[in-house]
Each structure stands twice: as structure tokens, then as C-alpha cells.
Amino acid sequence: MPEAGADFLKKKYDLHNSPEVLSAARRTEIKTGRRVLQSPEPRIQNYLARFKEIVDEKDEDKKKENIQALKRVLLPKFVTKFKDIPDSYWKLQERILRERGQQGDYDRFSDEEKNKAKHEIADGLLSDQQSSLEQWIDYLASDDSSYIPDHIKYWTFRSVIGLAEYDKDKKEFPERSKGTVKMFPDINQEALSTMIDWFLKNQKGEPVTLEGYERDLTDEQKNQARQFISQENFAKLYGFVNELIRPIPEHLIPITKGKWVKYEQGSDHTPLVQSIRGRGTGWCTAGENTAKTQLGGGDFHVFYSNDDDDNPTIPRIAIRMEGEKIAEVRGIAAKQNLDPYMTEILEKKLDEFPDKDKYLKKEHDMRQLTEIDKKVKRGEALGKDELVFLYEVDSKIQGFGYQSDPRINELRTGRDMHEDMLTIFDCTEDQIAHATDQMNENTKAYVGKLTPGIFDQIQKYNIEHVFTSFPEGRIRLESLTIGGKSVKELQEEMRSENINISGYVRDMLESPDFVTQQNKEDIDLVRLKVGDLGLGGSPTTDQLYEKAKELGLDLCPAEVGPQMRLTYKDQPLYEYFNIGMKQIADSDGCPDVFTLDHGDDGLWLSDYWARPEDGWAPVDEFVFRLRPSGSEASKSPLKFWPFRHS
């Protein structure tokens, strides 16, 4: 790391004297047998070296595993815990209930029911909070952030963990308070890239001319920006640039006339930067260093729609290439999703690329969501298929941004969910059970908590739709054939199917603890989220397994992992889940379970740490084996689906 960077962190945080830097020095000395120099620069550089190793790791599966390990260290440290949420927050929620006329209902709750309700509310809020911090870890560890020097990455992350989400009224990022349930700041890559450009120029002693924005700023605003830069105030500067980047005028959004421009790999990045800077796209390509790095990796395609003078100057779609493959597609709607007017433009363009298929799902979802949006605005009723799509019963709606399309929640809000359930399940009100004693031969769906013996009832009455809550709490019932293949045959078949296997998974498959059974057997599986078990908080692996056992679920044979991976080929992009199984030690001695996930680089059979004391988030998913029911239920077996995406 350059000396200026170390000096910056030394002055800013007295980092060289911090416990974590001293501890890192001791670990390095123990590991290498060489002393780390006492001066600040080498001590700080040694501390940051571990993160640099993760970022620079060439083996993608190892890099992915290392990032997950980093998250296990950072997330518990900075994400709020339930016990730390202050009483003032809950008093505010009671006041809101009172103002909505719901105080009477709340007062009828027992203390136990109130506590459970609090846990359910907190689980959702803190899960969102965790995701908002994960996006920063993922970004700072990604190639997209390679333009940011190590010391600036440290400054960025340390600043972010002390800030809450943007306050639009105050136009600032407030400081985080202990126990807050607010999310961390969102990433506006254009704003981040722009402010870092300015900051680095200031560090080098170069004049900061606020390139691309001079015409939009008063002298007072220019002085204010330079003040934030000189003060090294991340929060103020990030807030300032977020406000500076203005959206495209609303009257220009419906315009689809325009043209595509291709910026060749290795070409001068300046024209690309100048064409999108200040346009409010949210694209990090507005930063000079980012654009230069991205053009170094591949071509960059931008669609510009016409402006008021009928010239194509309004950036609407970006397609970034890595070599011959599409790396990402971004739009200008919320969270960089595609705006509804651009779907047909993108669809025609994608025909030019050989790897277009994985993007067509996103394009299809955005088109269907737009059609549903139009129908709702016209006051038209939605059909079963449209409701199944809107409530994401069969699969997540995928867009081109980092986060879910906000229209999903907007369209669901205000709908009569109970009436929608009747349409989706194709049933009458009395055919939906909410407790085990309500189940009978006519029951088509169950929406309620899981209790001991419930799966016997589900099998007995052939109940197809099972939810702990609708729509997010779906319990997936699947069947799978295991056995009949040796370990070597499983490995060869996965190789022939181009399934990615992490290094630690190879260790697990070669472990004496991994065995396959000789004879084929059809088994029934249950896939659910940790939060569906009703444990609350972040239960440990042991608690999770014990609760599953109480509900009539068993651990899966280890071979379920690779067998399911070979069968589940249409797994949605970015979905992942774990196999509830007896842990197998990897080469480092850590107890792991198999994980099935689908990334940009294809299908993966990965691994995840599952030590007995490890905690799990409510949104983490597991697959367990359904314990065979008694003789009565076996006379009327549940019609399990072959393992597939559904």
C-alpha cells in the first residue's frame, strides 16, 4: 500500500495502534516466523493484507469461500441483535398501532404472544439490515471495485458501518445508533465512484474541478463539496454527491427512439464517462477509474434515447462485457432495474449475444411485471397465473438490478391477500387450514405454524400447498431418487454436466464419511427456511437439527447433495440452500454441509460451515428428509413432485 495511504489511516484512525492491527501483526509473526516492523506503514499494510488476498484470489471458488468466511466474522459484529433493540423502538410501534386503531387487538395478546410478534418483526428488519451490509462486502471484494485503493476501501467500509440509510428530508446519512433496526446506506455506485475520484485527486495534491458537474453547482455548493473533501468526511461527501446526481426528467422516460453505442475494449474511457456522468443512472461507470477498468475487461454497450432536441444523449441501458460474455445488464429504474419502456429494446439487442438465455428470464419477468402493473392501474382483475407470479409462489421475480424491483411490494400493497390465496390455490375458504385440527379430506392448502406431527397430517390428506405464512413461508415438498451410484460415478457425472465444485467439496466427497448406498431408493424431502421452524433469533446448527427432528424430519444422507445437484438443473439464478446432513470435515477440519447454488458462472455444489454452535439467519434454507409416516398415512401417500424448480 502506498505510504500516503498508510499515513491517511494512521492520522484518521490511529489505526497502527489499534488492537486488531496489533493482533494481526502477532498472527503474521507466528505464522511466518518473521517480525512485522514497528513503524505504522508495514503494520497497517499487514493488517489489510488478508482482505487483499481475498480480493486478488484467482481461484473463484476459493475466493467465494473466503468472502463467506469474512462475512461470518463481520456481520455478527455490526448487524444489530434482537436484545439490543431499545424499548423506545417498541413503544413507537405501539403508538403506531394505536394511531391505526389496532391498540385493542394488541392489548388482547399475552406477553408471550407480544414477545413472539416482536421477534417476528425484528427477524425481518434485521435480515434486511444484514443484506444491506452484505452488499458493501460483496462490492468491495468484487472486481467492480478494483479501482479503489486498499486504504480507501477501509475508509469506505469503516464509514458505512457507522451510518444509517439515507434521510431524504435532511439530505444526509445519519449516524447509526446502538440497537437501530435501520439498514446501512445503499450503494450508489456512480456517487461512490465520483466522490472517490475527487478524493484521490485531492490526496495527490491535484486540483479538484468537480468534473462534469460545474454547470449544476453554485459557488457555495462547490465550496461546500471541497470542504467535505478536505475534511475527509465520507458521510457528508457521499450525501452531497447522491443529491447532486439528478434523475432523467420524467417526460423523457417514455421515449424509446434512440441508438446503441459500442465502446470498444481498451478504448479511451473518457467519452463513455462524459456521456453518463450527471445523468443519474446510478452506474459506477460514471467514475473515471471504474470506466477505465471496465473497458479494460471488455466492450461496453449503451443505449441512448433521444433528448428534447431529438438527439440520442439519455443513457437508458448498459451492457458490460467481460471478454465475449455479458457481465451485467443495468437500467436506470430503482436499484438499477430496467425501466418498463426499455424491455423490447433490450430483447432485440440480446439476440446479438450467445449467452443471452440467462438474461431472458429477467427480461421476461420485467415484461410480465409491467403488464400486471398496467392491468392494476386500469382496474382489471388479475388471473391465477398472474397472482402466482406476483406473489413469487413458484420463483423469485428477477430484474436487472441489485435489489428486488420495488413495484412488487407496491402492487401487493392494498390487495386482499386472503382472496388472492383462494384464486392461487383454486379453492374455497373452508379448504384452507390454519391448524392441524382443521385438516380434512377437502383441505387443499395449509397456512400456519409447523407443529409436531404436522407432516403426518399433510401426507394423510395429500395437501399440496403448505406455507408457514403466505407468500414468503412456502414449504417445498419434493421427492428424489438416491443410491445406485458410486462416489466416482457421481463425480464424473457432475463433471460431464459442467457443474462447478468447490475445493472443499472435493475434500468432502473423498472423505471416508461420504458414502453412497448401493440400491436405489425414492425418498421424500422437505425444504424450508430456518425462520419457518419457529425458533426465533439466530438458532445454532444443533438447535436447528433438534427442532427439525421434533417436527418429524430427519437428516439427509450425505449423497442427497450431489444427487440433488444433478437433478435440480433449472435452479433460479442466485438461489442457494443447504442440505441438512451430518457434517463432514473439510481439509481444514471444519464441519461442513453441502450447499446448492446458482451463480453467474453456473450451477455449483458448494459447502458451508455448520459447526454445532454456528448461528443461522431466518432466511437461510435447508433440505431435510421427511420421516416415513405411519401405516395409516402410507395408505394415502403424498403426491410428491420429482425434485424440480417449483
Phi, psi of 641 (to 5 degrees): -85, 145
Per DSSP bridges, beta strands 445-447 and 432-433 are parallel
Question: Domain check: are 300 and 233 in the same one?
Answer: no
Out of 89-93, 127-131, 501-505, pick the least confident: 127-131
- Outline where DSSP puts E strands in 474-601: 476-482, 500-501, 521-529, 553-554, 576-579, 584-585, 591-599
Q: 558 lies in a domain?
A: yes
Question: Domain check: are 323 and 238 in the same one?
Answer: no
Residue 617 φ/ψ region, left for φ over 0, alpha for ψ in the -120 to 50 degree band, beta for the rest: beta
Q: What would the mean pLDDT of 201-227 be, rounded to a whole number?
A: 80
Out of 15-19, 170-174, 558-562, pick the least confident: 15-19
Q: What would the mean pLDDT of 357-365 be, rounded to a whole number?
A: 77
Question: Domain check: are 508 and 624 in the same one?
Answer: yes
pLDDT-derived band at 40 (thresholds 50, 70, 90) equals low
Out of 57-66, 309-318, 497-506, 633-642, pick the least confident: 633-642
Range of the domain at 37: 1-56
Structural domain ending residue among the three candidates 345, 377, 409: 377
Q: 73 lies in a domain?
A: no
Query: What pLDDT does residue 644 have?
Result: 31
Question: Domain check: are 204 and 327 in the same one?
Answer: no
pLDDT-derived band at 522 (thresholds 50, 70, 90) equals very high
- As a whole number of Å, the CA-based R_g of the chain is 27
Question: Domain check: are 263 and 214 in the same one?
Answer: no
Query: What pLDDT does residue 364 have?
Result: 84
Question: Domain check: are 604 and 487 in the same one?
Answer: yes
Q: 182 lies in a domain?
A: no
Query: What pLDDT does residue 169 have?
Result: 65
Query: What pLDDT does residue 632 have?
Result: 39
Structural domain ending residue among the three candidates 377, 402, 430: 377
Please spell the DSSP secondary structure of 62-112, one letter per residue. HHHHHHHHHHHHHHHHHSPPGGGS-HHHHHHHHHHHHHTT-HHHHHTS-HH
Q: What would the mean pLDDT of 411-438 be, rounded to a whole number?
A: 93
Identify the burial level of 221 via C-beta atoms within 10 angstroms of its C-beta, where 0-12 means exposed, 13-18 middle and 19 or more buried: middle
Q: 6 lies in a domain?
A: yes
Q: What is the rounded CA–CA span in Å between residue 560 and residue 554?
A: 13
Out of 45-49, 257-261, 637-641, pick the least confident: 637-641
pLDDT surpassing 50 at residue 643: no
Q: 273 lies in a domain?
A: yes
Query: What pLDDT does residue 168 have?
Result: 60
Q: 154 lies in a domain?
A: no
Question: Domain check: are 268 and 202 in the same one?
Answer: no
Q: 146 lies in a domain?
A: no
Query: What pLDDT does residue 645 have?
Result: 30
Q: What is the rounded CA–CA span in Å between residue 410 and residue 324?
A: 37
pLDDT-derived band at 325 (thresholds 50, 70, 90) equals confident
Q: 220 lies in a domain?
A: yes
pLDDT surpassing 60 at residue 101: no
Query: What pLDDT does residue 89 have?
Result: 87
User: Higher pLDDT residue, 15 or 412?
Assistant: 412
Question: Domain check: are 267 and 206 in the same one?
Answer: no
pLDDT surpassing 90 at residue 442: yes
Question: Domain check: are 600 and 464 in the same one?
Answer: yes
Question: Domain check: are 539 and 487 in the same one?
Answer: yes
Q: What is the rounded CA–CA span in Å between residue 474 and residue 472?
A: 6
Check whether the bond before 86 is cis (ω within 30° of 0): no
Tens digit of pLDDT for each residue in 206-216?
A: 887 776 676 66
| Residues 419 and 515: beta-carbon distance below 8 Å | no
Structural domain ending residue among the three candidates 377, 404, 419: 377
Q: What would the mean pLDDT of 88-99 be, rounded to a whole number?
A: 74
Neighbours of 159 (CB within 10 A): 17
Q: What is the rounded CA–CA span in Å between residue 297 and residue 480?
A: 42
pLDDT surpassing 80 at residue 46: no
Query: What pLDDT does residue 214 have?
Result: 67
| Residues 408 and 390: beta-carbon distance below 8 Å | yes
Question: Domain check: are 353 and 205 in the same one?
Answer: no
Query: What pLDDT does residue 31 have?
Result: 67
Identify the burial level of 43 via C-beta atoms within 10 angstroms of its C-beta, where 0-12 means exposed, 13-18 middle and 19 or more buried: buried
Q: What is the reported pTM?
A: 0.53
Question: Domain check: are 233 and 286 in the same one?
Answer: no
Q: Between the CA of residue 307 and those of 84, 115, 254, 546, what are the distances in Å?
A: 51, 55, 11, 62
Out of 120-129, 366-375, 378-387, pick the least confident: 120-129
Query: What pLDDT does residue 482 have?
Result: 95
pLDDT surpassing 80 at residue 428: yes
Q: How many domains does the chain have?
A: 4
Query: What pLDDT does residue 633 have?
Result: 35
Tens digit of pLDDT for each residue in 256-312?
A: 999 999 999 999 998 998 898 767 787 878 767 678 878 998 999 999 999 999 999
Query: What pLDDT does residue 144 have?
Result: 81
Out of 93-107, 368-382, 567-581, 631-645, pick the least confident: 631-645
Out of 136-140, 166-170, 370-374, pick the least confident: 166-170
